[in-house]
């Protein structure tokens, strides 16, 4: 466990960050660029994508080596604020 009271995660750890948005706006590139600003050490095979059944939406999952809660909070804030991101998990 983490040394921070109330913290449920222990850092560093690997976390899967998922963002969903329209598939027609180079969404994968946008998500990866945002994630790299917060976790520049993405390895090969860290990114996976899945299209919706009709192909209108894209889910992008990026596995990152998280170093702190603050890092992850900043990443989720930037992802959620981006106009092309419908949802970030």
Hey, CA dihedral for 28, 16, 20, 45, is it positive or negative?
Answer: positive
Residue 33 in domain: yes
Kindly state whether residue 26 falls inside one of the protein's structural domains: yes
Residue 14, SS3 per DSSP: strand
| Domain ranges, residue 83 | 13-88
Q: Is residue 4 part of a domain?
A: no
CATH of the domain at 48: 3.30.70.260
**Confidence band, pLDDT 50/70/90 cuts, at residue 63:** very high
Can you give the pLDDT at residue 1? Answer: 43
pLDDT at site 4: 60
* Separation of alpha carbons 41 and 66, rounded Å: 10
What value, to the nearest 5°, has the Cα angle with vertex 31 and ends 35 and 25? 165
Q: Is the pLDDT of residue 3 over 80?
A: no
Q: Is residue 45 in some structural domain?
A: yes
Count how many domains the chain has: 1
Q: What is the average pLDDT value for the chain, to the nearest integer?
A: 93
65 closest CA partner among 34, 30, 36, 85: 36
């Amino acid at each position: 466990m983490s040394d921070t009271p109330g913290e449920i995660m222990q850092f560093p750890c690997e976390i899967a960050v998922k963002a969903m948005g329209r598939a027609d706006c180079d969404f994968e590139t946008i998500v990866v660029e945002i994630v790299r600003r917060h976790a520049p050490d993405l390895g090969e095979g860290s990114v996976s994508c899945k299209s919706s059944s009709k192909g209108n939406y894209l889910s992008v999952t990026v596995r990152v080596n998280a170093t702190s809660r603050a890092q992850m909070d900043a990443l989720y804030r930037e992802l959620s604020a981006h106009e092309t991101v419908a949802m970030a998990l």
